[in-house]
Chain A
């Protein structure tokens, strides 16, 4: 999954991206001088897969943002506490459309607040991983030589431990909190982003336009920052979109393993799924509903990421 997947492999595809990022490419109906991103956007707009993904993600983000207005009850409220018996968990009713859970929480409200929790973990951990990975990748791609060697050995080291185990080990140091889950998932993503960016930058470095820029007397910093870097971020952005999906799933896995702190009745999808394990035979909906929420959210991000990858791939470009 390395060099052969980098979308920008020919100089012709690479050069216009730079112009479009600075907004000085020719616009209008004539797409001749259009950049990689503009082209990608036009492809995406016509792709039903991408549209489905966008709709799912938009719905998820809206629910997360407007949770206080959408949810009938607060995230910590247990309105049905007195109605729940260990042997009897009330199912859907007019008052609780999706029923109650074993703690007496309203399942619908918890799912809505759970969207907020998942979005927060997903976005923050991905940003963390992206920032760390970009920094490491940039360092390696910029200095080369022994810095590159050191950074890549660190990456190898992190990738030598299966991702969940790495996340669990980090969460154990960081303590029991949702912040520690964010850091743990974020750190696990660092090597992936670092390797991608470095590979992508190396592929750009030999391009003619980079040589031309250096020959024109541009300093190494401006060549790297305004030419090599902008043209190398394509695969990183695709990866970040796909990472949002894995982050939501991994967060659920960490809470399943009892990491993340807080009350067991917390309105968080992974925690709800864990709590439902005991009632699988009595009330399977308690496991199925949060599970579907996780899967659909992950599906949304995956569809967007995959169609973005396709749209940025020059091999899929068609002549008009």
Chain B
């Protein structure tokens, strides 16, 4: 197991190096040249001259790239042209918000998707099966930000059941030791603050979770329909095994492998979707910050965030790969 993790971590190195080359080239391809791109349109000639010497934009490309790489390894991802704060700091402050949001979205997607797909496959042709098809279609055809609009309009503006924007009511004066607002409220015992933060997560969580929900439901349905007709399931049933064990150990557990892979891949979709969902709900995570960076041509933030998000995405998929062994003992032996 540990060997596998180390192996996969080592494979990350060439990927990240390749990505850094691409992002390095990207800044140079931006309109207006790298110095203007990194400092913004209103940069003074002195500032441009300063960054030219600092980043070595007047030197050969390979030296520039090594300087860039050295800065990355030291944790220097540049400075936002909009907030004038280091990109890494901006990322670290906002990332907990996005983690909270994606976790809620994943809970919705897995919590509803797997049971829905399972029941749809077990009772093929039933109303639940048909409704699972409808959910799957909504998931792949409705743009996530349109869904966010509708949820916001109906449940926040019209019905007023949930707050429409932000992470927490600004009148609640809560302390934030970790920046995970729900967790903060629980840790400090400020239950109303935790509850309020949770209420702020409901609508964006549903908006973000719907597409993965549709995909997870579909994948589960396909996997369960295949497994439930497998020979070993028939044998187990003929042996007179308890129905609960048949469902749990034989059918559900064996169909979870493709579903798990799908869930890992959804994280990329969630991070893309977070950009749109967080913007609609003015939710202060990395997604809405990135969208503002795009609006304001804040290239250092775009460059740094793309790299950091790719690292997160790769680590999540590493985690998913490793967890295969927990589900499937055959893979554990191979590893």
As a 0/1 sequence over residues 166 to 196 of chain A, the CB contacts with chain B under 8 angstroms (1 = contact) are 0011001101000000000000000000000
A172 near B299: Cβ-Cβ < 8 Å: yes
Give A222-247 interface residues, CB cut-off 8 Å to B: 245
In whole angstroms, what is the CA distance A118 to B305 when docked? Answer: 29
- List residues of chain B with CB within 8 A of the CB of A256: 145, 276, 279
In whole angstroms, what is the CA distance A280 to B118 when docked? Answer: 37
Q: A168-B302, A169-B26, A298-B141 are in contact. Are A287 and B272 (CB under 8 A)?
A: no
Q: Is residue A252 contacting chain B, with contact meaning CB distance below 8 A?
A: yes
In whole angstroms, what is the CA distance A17 to B176 when docked? Answer: 63
Looking at the complex, which of B87-95, B232-240, B246-254, B306-314 is the stretch in contact with chain A?
B306-314
Looking at the complex, which of B46-54, B72-80, B182-190, B287-295 is the stretch in contact with chain A?
B287-295
Q: A157-B15, A169-B306, A173-B29 are in contact. Are A295 and B22 (CB under 8 A)?
A: no
Q: A162-B269, A172-B302 are in contact. Are A295 and B141 (CB under 8 A)?
A: yes
B269 near A273: Cβ-Cβ < 8 Å: no
CB distance from B25 to the nearest CB of A (A): 10
Minimum CB distance partner of A258 in chain B = B295
Minimum CB distance partner of B18 in chain A = A157
In whole angstroms, what is the CA distance A249 to B273 when docked? Answer: 12
Q: Interface residues of B, CB < 8 Å — how many?
A: 44
B302 near A169: Cβ-Cβ < 8 Å: yes
- List residues of chain B with CB within 8 A of the CB of A288: 150
- List residues of chain A with CB within 8 A of the CB of B143: 249, 252-253, 273, 291, 294-295
CB distance from A114 to the nearest CB of B (A): 14
Report which A residues bind B (CB closer than 8 A): 153, 156-157, 160-165, 168-169, 172-173, 175, 245, 249, 252-253, 256-259, 273, 276-277, 280-281, 284, 287-288, 291, 294-296, 298-299, 302
18 A-B contact pairs sorted by A residue (CB < 8 Å): A153-B18, A156-B15, A161-B313, A165-B290, A165-B306, A173-B29, A175-B31, A249-B141, A256-B276, A257-B275, A258-B294, A280-B157, A281-B157, A288-B150, A294-B142, A295-B142, A295-B146, A302-B141
